[in-house]
Chain A
Amino acid sequence: MNRGGTLALVALLACCLGSSGIAHSQDILIRGAKVHTLTAKGTLERADVLVRGGRVVEVGSGLATAAGATVVEANGRPLTPGLFGGITGLGIVEIELESSTVDRSALVGDGASGPAFVPRPEFDVAPAFNPDSVSIGVNRIEGITFAMIAPNASGTLFAGQGAVARLDGSADPFVAASRTQFLDLGSSATAGVGYSRAAQFMLLEQAAREALPGKPLQAGDVRLLTPTGREVLARYLAGGRIAFAVDRAVDIRQVLDFAAKHGVRPVIIGGAQASQVAALLASSKVPVVLEPLLNLPGTFDQLGASMENASKLQRAGVPIMFSHFSSGTNTAHKVRQGAGVAVAHGLPWDAALAALTSTPADVFGLGAAAGRIMPGSPADLVLWSGDPLEVTTVAEQVWIGGRPQSMRSRQTELRDRYRPTGVAARPRSP
């Protein structure tokens, strides 16, 4: 750990802290890193990565230093793409138990007289996103550079729309192609959806029927959705991406049927029993976002939850990603530990890293070079003190779009204020 040192890192940090607004990123040469490319080239020992204009332009050995470039000596330390934080409330939840800081759900009802359940698939969390949220900084310095910012259904069926954000502190960090509609199925969806899985599918079919063009509603028809809701849902039904929060194998089958019928690209969120239907998921190329640490049945839908869920799905050819659902906002970074634990339980190391990088980039449409280190990749990179999946490893420097990110957060401020007297911090890279 902590091999090799570089003053360049310190210089970078200073540059970053001193800058304000969007600075034009300068060339960066990261030299002598163990580069996990997430491409067919695999892992390159002692390779150089040249970053220009916010993108990786070259990966190889003995790369020339452009004039004025910042050189970072990696000294063999691992370099990975930035990590995916999973399905989170980053930027829309500051403190879960302070409702005034939580913007994750739209529970819009008609009050006491009307139904509690007014599905609003048009709800979109983006306008609430706060790039200054303390949680973003805390997770970013752990190497989390992008995450799905997702609405929460809070017991209803339609949660609404989310999208992947790059956690670079900008006010509009969302990747347009990543927009996803979120639905909550199974035992967690209760309030206002009839307390029955069958009613969930009934309402889902009704909503889909309302949204389908060519089946105009007649005056006097009972409407589930608002006109905007119908428009928005129609977009997702025409080949859009819908994420279904669902655990039970039989419910996953229902979801796949629904998706096939309506031409939806489904993503399974949770999927505690997904490995039971691994072949089906693999053949329909449906990805799963799972909690790699889940091996106890939190609900009856999760019976059979197992540490081998990830490795079984991966072996079957199902694209997998990770999320730390139980505290997926403040502690989203725990996905990295979860990935390591999955490795200890049989998931190949490279597959675990892919689940944190290239797979989410692919699934959520971030572009073919995203989540990888290759020419054309966005320079969202993390230089690690050691094995990126190891719990004793820390991110030493994070770049997003080629810009070095401040490696300080509110937590490091508190740490430094209360550091025991007489104890000096170790140099970043002794």
Chain B
Amino acid sequence: MSWKSPGGAVLALVACSAIAATEPYPSTYRAKPGAPVLIRNATVLDGTGRRLDGADVLIRDGRIVGIGPGLERGDATEIDAQGRWVTPGLIDVHSHLGVYASPGVDATQDGNEATDPVTAGVWAEHSVWPQDPGFATALAGGVTTLQILPGSANLIGGRGVTLRNVPATTYQAMKFPEAPQGLKMACGENPKRVYGERDRAPSTRMGNVAGYRQAFADAQDYAQQWDKYQAELTAYEKKKGKDKDPAERPSPPKRDLRLDTLVAAMQGKVQVHIHCYRADEMAVMLDLAKEYGFKVAAFHHGVEAYKIADRLAQEGVCGALWADWWGFKLEAYDGIWENLAFVDAPPNGCAIVHSDSEEGIQRLNQEAAKAMSRGQRAGLDIPPERAIRWITSNAAKSLGIADRVGTLEPGKIADIVVWNRDPFSVYALPDLVYIDGALAFDRNHPPATPRSDFLLGQPGAAR
């Protein structure tokens, strides 16, 4: 069954703009002004799969304007990067910073609206506490962009938000301008456990799937109501000018925030991110996506993604994965070190290292290094210039922002990490992090780096 007749799709698009004409909660992010910078003589992994030795990177007006050997300095400040490595700013597609902030006390548990299995109407951004000290420690690990997602208690947990990792007093001032929102869904054990323990649906995996299907069926119906309303409104407007005795103006359907989100998913306006561990369940979710006409941007956690690596690649679905997490629950029992490498291997394979952790997000480079090394030992050819894509361009792709960040190419936003050495090492640390061409972190000048309000004046927190 397809609800998307060509005409219907057009109408639905129109209807959606009628549903929400302007973007609420808009980004107020403004790039910090940054003077032109020339990073000289570095080993550059540009995120497209290329490695350039002894290359320069020129940043001006927040953009990358040049990359290659022997660039003209002009008025730029020169940074000697001899022996250092340069990569795009790192991107984490799965973070709960701000919604499960540190300290993890009762008052900061804002990541799961676990009161109903379908809470597609909630937006993670409305839980984000910008003073989570974890943003600054992630920045010290080179993370310049991150998606904050609702948790996985619910079948459909709500919308995620993509943030620039800059210190701010409001989340709107961190919000990545014009980045699509995400939609968080969850398979498997979590939703059925959370609700099953309360003697309500879902309590089984089949209950999970029925829950998604009913929600999307409701959304189809909702979209049709809006299409109908739009058609009636158009007819009314057409008639109004000519008819002396006009019919009553049609009234719009009641807005439903949950269904708005699901309609947006079916229209491709939000990126669908699905927490799903098992290969067989991912296959069910791909069928669900076909049934309701949405696209899965990425499966998150996916410890069994390696079992369906070819299918994921064929369908253009990314796997946002860990290097070595496994076994903490049954659906994570089949984890292997080579998961990322195997998902990366087929043509069009899209592997992403994600963190889901305030600790892991600080060392995405090391997670990638572990997976790269294990992949190499399993016989795959994975040089660093390939593996860096797992924490830069592939992540950007799944977030729908690859046109702006994730690679070092002229015209791209100048999100850049200068590492003290090869980043695929346990000893590697970012020396400098640029966001939009402005210096956001400098390891050797700690006072200039962000620090949460929360930590100020705390005993033992001085530096």
Contact surface of A with B, Cβ cutoff 8 Å:
95-98, 134-135, 138, 249, 273, 276, 293-300, 302-304, 326-327, 329-331, 333-334, 337, 340-341, 343-344, 389-394, 411-412, 414-415, 418-420, 423-426
Shortest CB distance B275–A (Å):
15
* Contact, CB under 8 Å: B103 / A302: yes
Which residue of the partner chain A has the closest CB to B342? A420
List the B side residues contacting A296 at CB < 8 Å.
102, 133-134, 137, 358-359
* Contact, CB under 8 Å: B377 / A425: yes
* Contact, CB under 8 Å: B372 / A327: no
* Contact, CB under 8 Å: B342 / A426: no
A42 to B442, CA, bound (A): 36
A330 to B345, CA, bound (A): 26
Interface of B is mostly: loop
Query: Which chain B residues numbered 328 to 348 have a C-beta less than 8 Å away from chain A?
Result: 328-330, 333-338, 342, 345-346
Which residue of the partner chain A has the closest CB to B372? A392
* Contact, CB under 8 Å: B342 / A95: no
List the A side residues contacting B342 at CB < 8 Å.
418-420
* Contact, CB under 8 Å: A249 / B460: yes
Answer yes or no: B447 CB below 8 A from chain A CBs.
no
Of the listed stretches B71-79, B177-185, B319-327, chain A binds B319-327
Cβ contacts A to B, 7 pairs, < 8 Å: A302-B103, A331-B324, A340-B426, A341-B363, A390-B425, A418-B306, A423-B378
List the A side residues contacting B143 at CB < 8 Å.
none
List the B side residues contacting A394 at CB < 8 Å.
373-374, 377
Interface range for B: 35 or more
Which residue of the partner chain B has the closest CB to A390? B426
A256 to B327, CA, bound (A): 36
List the B side residues contacting A298 at CB < 8 Å.
102-104
Which residue of the partner chain A has the closest CB to B103? A297
List the A side residues contacting B370 at CB < 8 Å.
337, 391-392
B327 in complex: contacting residue of A95, A341, A391, A424, CB < 8 Å: A95
List the B side residues contacting A302 at CB < 8 Å.
103
Answer yes or no: B286 CB below 8 A from chain A CBs.
no
Answer yes or no: B428 CB below 8 A from chain A CBs.
yes
* Contact, CB under 8 Å: A304 / B458: yes
A6 to B82, CA, bound (A): 37
Answer yes or no: B376 CB below 8 A from chain A CBs.
yes
* Contact, CB under 8 Å: A304 / B329: no
Q: A344-B428, A420-B342 are in contact. Are A415 and B105 (CB under 8 A)?
A: no
A343 in complex: contacting residue of B358, B369, B372, B427, CB < 8 Å: B427
List the A side residues contacting B327 at CB < 8 Å.
95-96, 134-135, 138, 329-331
Q: A334-B324, A391-B426 are in contact. Are A415 and B329 (CB under 8 A)?
A: no
Shortest CB distance B461–A (Å):
5
* Contact, CB under 8 Å: B103 / A303: yes
A293 to B459, CA, bound (A): 20
Answer yes or no: B429 CB below 8 A from chain A CBs.
yes
List the B side residues contacting A331 at CB < 8 Å.
324-327
A419 to B427, CA, bound (A): 30
Query: Which chain B residues numbered 418 to 463 have a C-beta less than 8 Å away from chain A?
Result: 424-429, 455, 458-461
Interface of A is mostly: loop
* Contact, CB under 8 Å: A96 / B334: no
* Contact, CB under 8 Å: B426 / A344: yes
Answer yes or no: B379 CB below 8 A from chain A CBs.
yes
B379 in complex: contacting residue of A96, A98, A419, CB < 8 Å: A419
Which residue of the partner chain A has the closest CB to B308? A418
Shortest CB distance A306–B (Å):
8
A83 to B425, CA, bound (A): 20
List the A side residues contacting B460 at CB < 8 Å.
249, 273, 276, 303-304
Answer yes or no: B227 CB below 8 A from chain A CBs.
no
A334 to B323, CA, bound (A): 11
Which residue of the partner chain A has the closest CB to B344? A420
A394 to B104, CA, bound (A): 34
Answer yes or no: B288 CB below 8 A from chain A CBs.
no
* Contact, CB under 8 Å: B380 / A423: yes
A135 to B336, CA, bound (A): 12
Answer yes or no: B263 CB below 8 A from chain A CBs.
no
Shortest CB distance B262–A (Å):
29
Answer yes or no: B41 CB below 8 A from chain A CBs.
no
* Contact, CB under 8 Å: A411 / B326: yes
Shortest CB distance B369–A (Å):
5
* Contact, CB under 8 Å: B373 / A391: yes
A426 to B370, CA, bound (A): 16
List the B side residues contacting A418 at CB < 8 Å.
306-307, 309, 336, 342
Query: Which chain B residues numbered 180 to 218 have a C-beta less than 8 Å away from chain A?
Result: 189
Answer yes or no: B152 CB below 8 A from chain A CBs.
no
* Contact, CB under 8 Å: A98 / B336: no
Which residue of the partner chain B has the closest CB to A420? B345
Shortest CB distance A338–B (Å):
9
Shortest CB distance A300–B (Å):
6
List the A side residues contacting B134 at CB < 8 Å.
296
Answer yes or no: B366 CB below 8 A from chain A CBs.
yes
Which residue of the partner chain B has the closest CB to A331? B324
* Contact, CB under 8 Å: B309 / A420: yes
The 6 closest A-B pairs by CB, nearest first: A304-B460, A340-B426, A330-B327, A392-B373, A97-B329, A296-B102
A273 to B461, CA, bound (A): 10
Which residue of the partner chain A has the closest CB to B306? A418
B424 in complex: contacting residue of A300, A330, A392, CB < 8 Å: A392
* Contact, CB under 8 Å: B330 / A98: yes
A135 to B362, CA, bound (A): 26
* Contact, CB under 8 Å: A337 / B426: yes
Given contacts A138-B326, A330-B326, A394-B373, could you give 14 more A-B pairs where the C-beta distance is less than 8 Å? A95-B328, A96-B328, A295-B137, A296-B133, A296-B134, A297-B133, A304-B458, A330-B328, A331-B327, A334-B324, A344-B429, A391-B369, A418-B336, A426-B377
Shortest CB distance B302–A (Å):
13
Q: A299-B105, A340-B426 are in contact. Are A95 and B378 (CB under 8 A)?
A: no
A341 to B369, CA, bound (A): 13
List the A side residues contacting B307 at CB < 8 Å.
418
* Contact, CB under 8 Å: B333 / A95: yes
A342 to B379, CA, bound (A): 31
A207 to B441, CA, bound (A): 51
Shortest CB distance A310–B (Å):
14
* Contact, CB under 8 Å: A392 / B425: yes
List the B side residues contacting A134 at CB < 8 Å.
327, 333
A193 to B458, CA, bound (A): 27
A276 to B458, CA, bound (A): 13
A22 to B450, CA, bound (A): 57
List the A side residues contacting B133 at CB < 8 Å.
296-297
List the A side residues contacting B374 at CB < 8 Å.
394
Max chain B CB contacts within 10 Å: which of A95, A96, A340, A389?
A: A95
List the B side residues contacting A419 at CB < 8 Å.
338, 342, 378-379
Which residue of the partner chain B has the closest CB to A389? B426
Query: Which chain B residues numbered 16 to 39 have a C-beta less than 8 Å away from chain A?
Result: none
A98 to B342, CA, bound (A): 28
Shortest CB distance A331–B (Å):
6
A221 to B171, CA, bound (A): 58
Q: A95-B333, A298-B104, A391-B369 are in contact. Are A426 and B376 (CB under 8 A)?
A: yes
Q: A394-B373, A418-B342 are in contact. Are A299 and B328 (CB under 8 A)?
A: no
List the B side residues contacting A98 at CB < 8 Å.
329-330
A349 to B378, CA, bound (A): 29
B189 in complex: contacting residue of A97, A303, A330, A390, CB < 8 Å: A97
Which residue of the partner chain A has the closest CB to B333? A95
Shortest CB distance B273–A (Å):
22
A411 to B339, CA, bound (A): 11
A288 to B394, CA, bound (A): 41
Q: A95-B327, A98-B329, A391-B425 are in contact. Are A420 and B102 (CB under 8 A)?
A: no
A423 to B428, CA, bound (A): 30
